[in-house]
Chains A and B, each alone.
Chain A
Amino acid sequence: MASVPAVLASEWTKIRTVSSTVWTLISAFVVTVAMGAALCALMNAQFDDLPVAQRVTFDPTLISFSGMVLGQLAMVVFGVLVVGTEYSSGMIRTSLAAVPQRGSFLFSKVAVAGVLALVVGIATSFVSFFLGQALLGEHRTDIGADNVLRAVVGGGVYMGLIGIFSMGVATMLRSSMLSLGILMPFFFLVSQILSAVPGAKKVARYFPDQAGSKIMQVVPDAMNSNPAPYGPWGGLGILVAWVAAALIGGYLVLKKRDA
């Protein structure tokens, strides 16, 4: 039996030797930081024009994470490609012939890629936060303020979990194109639109991104957003449940189906 440290070392070699890893992670970082900074600068300039309800619930921490709406898509691409290229290239057969224990194979891969996604996610959220606060001028908050550190670390964890969720989905679907074709519109359009439709709101708030992003709010119902029946940790819990479901689904598919 191939030992777990050996599989981890091998997966680390695989992940660091393809350029898609570098590009998707850099995009996730740059897009999130840049867009967050731009929105913080905009908010600072137009704070007095905001509706009263938004001014009352203004959440400087959350505003500095606005870039994650786009940045998470790069994380999705990273997660999908890590798994999907094994299938599209046929490498999966070489890999599974070398590691017949499919559970060790999948969870080592997810562990390596997941830790990488978490590290990049946390770096992204800290840089986004500090840059955003610098641009918010007098409306800024401080890392030492109540719940702010939780939100900043949570933002990083959120990005990492979205990446891991994508890996699970790609393992279930066994195809990069199919996974991206489903996940990208889902995170970018479906989830955003449904969360604005009155009837669908109640369902949409249990979607992985809607629930998970609650961890980044310091002010409850920040920016006059929809109140949710769960708190920040509850929201993160819902995201974790989605991730677990995707990984278990992926594991079962990998275990049952012919490679």
Chain B
Amino acid sequence: MIEAVGLTKRYGAKTAVSNLSFQVRPGTVTGFLGPNGSGKSTTMRMILGLDQPTSGHVTIGGHPFRSLPNAPRQVGALLDAKAVHGGRSARNHLLSLAQLAGIPAARVDEVLGVVGLQDVARKRSKGFSLGMGQRLGIAAALLGDPQVLLFDEPVNGLDPEGILWVRNLMKMLASEGRTVFVSSHLMSEMALTADHLIVIGRGQLLADMNVKEFISVNSADFARVRVADGLAERREKLTASLTEAGGRVMSEPDGALRVTGLPLPRISEVAHDSDVRLWELSPHQASLEEAYMRMTQSVVDYRSTADQKAGLQPPADHGYGQPGYGASQPPVLEAPQQNWYAPPPPGQNPPAAAPAAPSTTTADLTERDTSEDAR
């Protein structure tokens, strides 16, 4: 049993984990979900006493980790697959850990067999792939036959066979009555492995519930509707009628409509009444992945933007004959270039030039601004 109470960790001005309280119970696999940088690893490190919480506390079986008697026999952890001295063989690495807890050397060979590394046991871990590193890390966690297990992203870099193996291993460990706490950023993986979910974003608790509960709360049913010939006017007509009937309508990129709040027969009636023929009317359930994305949408720290490849595309010939500047000229520029040498101060742009991106710098900024707005 792991119990966190008001766990908070600040690094200077940045709050990595903020007032996190949760319990991880024995006998179940508890999934720990969150986007990159949401504080999962920091929380794991605090559980293991590696990082000191700024405030709050976390205990394992009622004790803070640092005061646990013979910690390796009670808690096993995989934090970072690559946290191994590359010059040491897998077996010696495990042996040094085993000796810490008074675990016999025979157990080392045992766990090497369990994770399938017996053939490379005497090879230096430097040459291990990420997947082999994960297996070595899992072996280290299993070494002391502990009652509490923590795995930080255990399936990273594993092949499908390995993923299936980890999934079954977690379930087996939990069925033996152990406490299993697994972090991941993959909802789909957790949906298959975990019984209970703890979801965090930007260091804050977003959800702490049973997986089944999570699914029923978060995955709304919807109907997909496609009008005949995909005609826009019919689609708009149907959208208006459905909204009037009390449904919520969203359009999908391929022209289909996603309708929530109305049962299928009612949608059919509405379509019939407004004289719109349908090509598709199908029931759907939003996947857990979508539910998770919706939940964490506002708390994603690292979001990708479209790659503009500015300056990487072959220079277009503009016929301006400006030596030295031709190469850096993006091909989109067609407007008169009265502000070529310096970006114009805001507000002083001639209105005619504004929409056509007056200079390289402002063009970039404009694009970035729009994408910011789109959030």
Contacts and interface: CB of A to CB of B under 8 A. Distances in A.
Nearest to B87: A18
Interface in B96-110: 96-97, 99-102
A258 B45 contact: yes
Given A14-B88, A17-B92, A2 B101 contact: yes
Contact of B50 (A3, A13, A85, A258): A258
Given A100-B49, A258-B50, A258-B51, A17 B86 contact: no
A10 B50 contact: no
B93 to A, nearest CB: 8
Interface stretch (A38-46, A90-98, A163-171): A90-98
A96 B75 CA distance: 12
Contacts of B71: 2, 97-100
B66 interface: yes
Interface residues of A, number: 30
Contacts of B92: 13-14, 17
A241 interface: no
Contacts of B85: 14, 18, 85-86, 89, 91
Interface stretch (B32-40, B76-84, B311-319): B76-84
Contacts of B51: 258-259
A98 B100 contact: yes
Interface in A113-156: none
Contact of B96 (A17, A20, A259): A17
Nearest to B42: A258
Nearest to B89: A17
A101 B66 contact: yes
B145 to A, nearest CB: 14
A7 interface: yes
Contacts of A52: none
A86 B84 CA distance: 8
Interface of B: 45, 48-52, 65-72, 75, 77, 79-80, 82-89, 92-93, 95-97, 99-102, 140
